[in-house]
Amino acid sequence: MKLFLYLFLLSAFFMTGCTEEKKVRIGVSQCSTDDWRMTLNEEIMREEIFHPEVEVEIRSADDNNAKQIADLEYFAKNDFDIIIVSPNEAKAVTPKIKALHDSGMPIVVFDREASEKCYSAFVGADNHDIGVKAAQYALLLSDEELNILEITGLPGSTPAMKRGSGFDEVMTENGGRARIVAKAAGNWNYEDAFAVADSILAVHQEINVIYAHNDRMAIGASDAAKKHGIKDMKIIGVDGVPSTGLKAVADGVITATFLYPTEGSLLFRKALAIVNGSPFEEETIITTPTVVTKDNAELMLMLDQEIQNETRKVKTLKGQVDEYWSRHSAQTTVLYSVVAILVLLSILFYMLLRYYWARKHHYAAIMAQKQQLEQQQATLTSLYEQLRDATQSKLTFFTNVSHDLRTPLTLIAEPVAQMVRADNITPQQSAMMRLADKNVKVLMRLINQILDFRKAENGKMTYNPVETDMRTAILDWSDAFRRAAARKHLAFTVNIMEAESYSMAVDIEKLERIYFNLISNAFKYTPQNGSVAVDMRQENGKLIIKVSDNGQGISEENRKQIFERFFRADQVTPNGSGIGLALTKSFVELHGGAIDVESTEGKGSVFTVELPVTHVDKHLSSHESLNSPDDVTEELADIEAPEPEQEEADGRPTALVIDDNADIRTLVYGLLCDKYNIIQASNGAQGIRMASRYIPDIIICDVMMPGTDGLETCRHLKNEVTTSHIPVLLLTACALDEQRVAGYECGADAYLSKPFNSRVLTARCESLILNRRRISLQVTEDKEKPAPELTKPDSNLLPQSDIDDEFYRRFVEVVEAELGNSDLTVEDLGAKTGLSRVQLYRKIKALTNYSPTELLKIIRLRKAEKMLKSTRLTISEVCYAVGFSSPSYFTKCYREQFDESPSDTQQRTSRMK
């Protein structure tokens, strides 16, 4: 690992050392590709030779506005640092230049101007001055009258406009000796200039001077004049490019040309200064030199040739330097590579040597560990053998106990069955006996499953196949579930696809138990108004039975384990033994088949059984079903307890029973219905709603429930103002101290473990209710004692609950704020405290043993007593101040409360002062 780290660090070093600096990128957008611009491009590229940190890319628009705009967008998108642009036409290209400049891109405009100032810098000659000098030179060509043809550049380009305006300005002021006979656009190129000159000279033969805005157009006009046989035509051009204008002057093709400076080096240096943040001039106007005639044209051509020769020498020298530098870089790379290889070889040798000594040390340690592991393995093998023997002994004992349980269970079953059929017991007793009979049968079925499971584990399960018509068997077994489906309001359907025959070899008893387990599970975990469906078909030599429901479904985690023995999941079988589906799988595999489940939590499950279709000679003669409709209905349907008569229920305390098991609710109902009004809820959420609505005197709640469990239900009830005072008794099969602590931390008042004694349950309920009412009973029994100080409740007289205490304080504050309102009602108090009239009545009654009306009157009288003792108000004024509308009624109530009249209180207070 360290070797690879060293290699990585060395590679990173070399890569870092070879990384080139980021170059400055300059984009040049030329409007066309004429000879003057080609000369300018050469000057820019020549300057680039001396700046290796700069990269220049030149694009030409070929006199096309759209193409030039596309070139500008290209430079912006490809991360160029600055753009040099000569606008083809100012009005068309300026908006794009402005947009780029506003976005932060530095822009240098040269030669042709933009229609507004939207750039970083401008470099160009004074085109107006060129036009002026051209006109002045034209006037010197002859003393005779001058008839002039002016050939302009591209309309809309600033050089054409300014060169024309300067020329026209001088000609206007010349006093009439010269006049412009015609003016036409040559668009900066030879062809257009030749065409317009040819046309105009054919009409205006008096023309003796031609002024063209560049040399190419001047040459085109010269050729047109020669075509018309005009030999002494004076032709003036502009640009003075050596290969075009200067050569034309030297050869006598045109009379003169005005040098239009390119200054490519100046343009390059200004762009680099802008990028580097160096000082620069925003406007650079290049001075226009004098005219070039035949007298000095040859000299200027020679100077240009010398410059070209020197440029070629510089390029050659740069190529040689680059080649030498490339060789140096290659040699340096080879040197570094050799050094790196030597270092790596040294490190590798060191690592190999270290690895050898470490391996030798580790080998000795491994051998010692191997001996230790062999000893531990021998110990574990011995412990495993002991554990296996102990487990087998426990399972054998468990099986024997299960066998022994069948005898006492049989002795219990028959007396219970006879009591169910007895007609001399009360409806409540009948319900309790039916509940016992149902669970005796459930227990008997569980014991039979345990014994069968042990046979399957020991390989002693028998397989007795007989030829059976599966269509008839499935329909008969399904009929046993019809009544239970109707009792639970389930849509139960059986769909059997058409086939030639459903006759096959099966162990009819085991297959019936497979079917019963799957259907009973579907019934148990599908809510009312749900659906359970059975589909059967033959396919590829297999019988396929699907049992589907739209119940609560199974989570993906639990689906992988539901067929394992003793597996229980809250979402699957919270009250099951964990062997039903494992036994079902054993029965299916005994037939050579397979079972699978598909399920989506909250949407339902589909169990699929596939059995191979085989045949035997032995046919099923008759078979008595293991599960009669009565047995199925009793086991799957809930036992309904009779409702007490209304007159018997009046005046009793109300108990709310919250449990997802209907049988437990029925049992608790039977135990408490003689002394309590019982209301029931099948889950925690429903229980919370019913508690807030009915405000019961006690709540009995199971802990293990799907969805909102008992602990969460208790926590919610104790945190709600309407229900915080209600005692909560938790029922659970969890008897560990940690679980009890969790219940008490949620606010539970008592804990009762399952199975519970009916007398203990009754006594605990009565004790909790009496303890809750003890303080209020003491107050009502002692008539001689004055009313408690309600504005500052005594902690010994009120429930030890922060929520109840806070509610009572808020109630007193509301009453005191409205004390002078004689129209204050219980409904008004309920609205201000957030409770309905019934909820407020039950809450105040439970906390103080007074009704809200009585408590309101007591608070008013206590306030009146203070006012009589501490103020000089009259009795009538005090009466109205505390909300009484009649002084006589106030005096009557005051006497009943304090055993003296208001006037007696005033007199007694005066004597004491």
Retrieve residue 783's tokens: 């008539």
- Structural domain contains residue 251: yes
- Structural domain contains residue 758: yes
Judged against a pLDDT cut of 80, whether residue 558 lies above it is answered with no
Confidence of residue 645 (pLDDT cuts 50, 70, 90): very low
Confidence of residue 74 (pLDDT cuts 50, 70, 90): very high
The range of the structural domain enclosing residue 198 comes to 127-260+288-293
Q: 589-593: long-range contacts at Cβ-Cβ below 8 A with a sequence spacing of 24 or more?
A: 590/456, 590/461, 590/463, 590/507, 590/510, 591/463, 591/506, 591/507, 591/510, 591/511, 593/542
Q: What CATH number did the domain enclosing 572 receive?
A: 3.30.565.10
Give the helix/strand (H/E) hosting 29.
Answer: strand 24-30
pLDDT at position 226, please?
A: 92
- Structural domain contains residue 773: yes
Across 557-566, 630-639, 736-745, the highest mean pLDDT is recorded for: 736-745
Q: Do 655 and 682 have their domain in common?
A: yes
Least confident span in 458-462, 566-570, 743-747: 566-570
Rounded CA gap, 503 and 555, in Å?
36
Which residues lie below 8 Å from residue 182, measured CB to CB, with a gap of 6+? 149, 150, 200, 204, 207
Judged against a pLDDT cut of 90, whether residue 481 lies above it is answered with no
pLDDT at position 207, please?
A: 92
Confidence of residue 18 (pLDDT cuts 50, 70, 90): very low
Q: What CATH number did the domain enclosing 220 receive?
A: 3.40.50.2300
- Structural domain contains residue 903: yes
pLDDT at position 607, please?
A: 92
Neighbours of 204 (CB within 10 A): 12
Q: Do 534 and 483 have their domain in common?
A: yes
Confidence of residue 632 (pLDDT cuts 50, 70, 90): low
Mean pLDDT, to the nearest integer, of 547-572? Answer: 70
Q: Do 651 and 736 have their domain in common?
A: yes
Please calculate the CA angle 93-99-100 and round it to the nearest 5 degrees: 95
pTM for the structure as a whole: 0.44
Which residues lie below 8 Å from residue 436, measured CB to CB, with a gap of 6+? 416
- Structural domain contains residue 728: yes
Retrieve residue 424's tokens: 């001399």
pLDDT digits (tens, 9 = 90+) for 200-218: 998 998 899 999 999 899 9
Beta bridge partners of 69: none
Rounded CA gap, 229 and 246, in Å?
24
Rounded CA gap, 672 and 638, in Å?
19
Rounded CA gap, 892 and 889, in Å?
5
Confidence of residue 389 (pLDDT cuts 50, 70, 90): confident
Pick the residue with more confidence: 892 or 405?
892
Asked whether 106 and 116 are in contact (CB, 8 A), the reply is no
Q: Do 658 and 632 have their domain in common?
A: no
Distance from CA of residue 182 to its chain's centroid?
76
pLDDT at position 106, please?
A: 92
pLDDT digits (tens, 9 = 90+) for 144-184: 888 999 999 888 788 888 889 999 888 888 767 888 889 99
Q: End-to-end distance of the chain based on CA atoms, in angstroms?
A: 99
Which residues lie below 8 Å from residue 305, measured CB to CB, with a gap of 6+? 242
Residue with tokens 């001996």: 371
- Structural domain contains residue 545: yes
pLDDT at position 637, please?
A: 55
Burial 608-638 (b: 16+ CB within 10 A, else e): bbbbebeeeeeebeeeebebeeebbbbbbbe
Cα torsion 668, 669, 670, 671: sign: positive
Least confident span in 421-435, 469-483, 618-632, 849-863: 618-632
Which residues lie below 8 Å from residue 648, measured CB to CB, with a gap of 6+? none
Distance from CA of residue 128 to its chain's centroid?
67
Mean pLDDT, to the nearest integer, of 564-583? Answer: 56
Q: Do 558 and 655 have their domain in common?
A: no
Pick the residue with more confidence: 623 or 342?
342
Mean pLDDT of the chain, nearest integer: 80
Q: Do 590 and 691 have their domain in common?
A: no
pLDDT at position 788, please?
A: 42
Cα torsion 548, 553, 558, 559: sign: positive
pLDDT digits (tens, 9 = 90+) for 30-58: 988 878 888 888 888 888 888 888 899 99
Q: Do 650 and 613 have their domain in common?
A: no
How many domains does one find in the chain? 4
Rounded CA gap, 849 and 775, in Å?
9
Q: Do 677 and 620 have their domain in common?
A: no
What does the DSSP 8-state code read for residue 639? P
Confidence of residue 792 (pLDDT cuts 50, 70, 90): very low
Rounded CA gap, 227 and 222, in Å?
9
Q: Is residue 556 classed exposed, middle or buried when 0-12, 13-18 and 19+ CB atoms within 10 A define those classes?
A: exposed
Could you write out the DSSP letters of every residue in 448-467? HHHHHHHHHHTT------EE
Q: Which of 677, 657, 675 is nearest to 665 (CA)?
A: 657
- Structural domain contains residue 871: yes
pLDDT at position 1, please?
A: 46
pLDDT at position 793, please?
A: 37
- Structural domain contains residue 144: yes
Rounded CA gap, 185 and 217, in Å?
10
Asked whether 112 and 57 are in contact (CB, 8 A), the reply is no
Distance from CA of residue 883 to its chain's centroid?
58
pLDDT at position 35, please?
A: 80
Asked whether 31 and 86 are in contact (CB, 8 A), the reply is yes
Q: Do 620 and 598 have their domain in common?
A: yes
Confidence of residue 612 (pLDDT cuts 50, 70, 90): very high
pLDDT digits (tens, 9 = 90+) for 292-329: 888 888 888 888 787 777 777 777 777 777 788 778 88
Pick the residue with more confidence: 430 or 13?
430
* Of 582, 603, 636, the domain-final residue: 636
pLDDT at position 720, please?
A: 82
Pick the residue with more confidence: 632 or 618?
618
Confidence of residue 257 (pLDDT cuts 50, 70, 90): very high
* Of 601, 636, 671, the domain-final residue: 636
Burial 474-506 (b: 16+ CB within 10 A, else e): beebbebbebbbeebebebebebeeeeebebbb
pLDDT at position 780, please?
A: 39
Within 13 Å, how many C-alpha atoms sit on residue 543's CB side?
A: 26
Pairing verdict, β 604-612 and 542-549: antiparallel
Pick the residue with more confidence: 569 or 690?
690
Rounded CA gap, 849 and 317, in Å?
113
pLDDT at position 225, please?
A: 92
Residue 32 φ/ψ region, left for φ over 0, alpha for ψ in the -120 to 50 degree band, beta for the rest: beta
Q: Do 806 and 693 have their domain in common?
A: no
Asked whether 73 and 84 are in contact (CB, 8 A), the reply is no
Q: What CATH number did the domain enclosing 889 receive?
A: 1.10.10.60
Mean pLDDT, to the nearest integer, of 249-275? Answer: 88
Q: Do 497 and 626 have their domain in common?
A: yes
Q: 714-719: long-range contacts at Cβ-Cβ below 8 A with a sequence spacing of 24 or more?
A: 714/743, 714/746, 714/747, 714/748, 715/746, 715/747, 716/684, 716/688, 717/688, 717/691, 717/747, 718/746, 718/747, 718/801, 718/803, 719/747, 719/803
* Of 636, 664, 691, the domain-final residue: 636
Q: Do 842 and 889 have their domain in common?
A: yes
561 phi/psi in degrees, rounded to 5: -125, 0
Confidence of residue 75 (pLDDT cuts 50, 70, 90): very high
Could you write out the DSSP letters of every residue in 304-355? HHHHHHHHHHHHHHHHHHHHHHHHHHHHHHHHHHHHHHHHHHHHHHHHHHHH
Judged against a pLDDT cut of 80, whether residue 274 lies above it is answered with yes
Confidence of residue 417 (pLDDT cuts 50, 70, 90): low
pLDDT digits (tens, 9 = 90+) for 797-851: 334 456 767 777 777 777 877 777 777 777 877 777 777 777 777 777 777 767 7
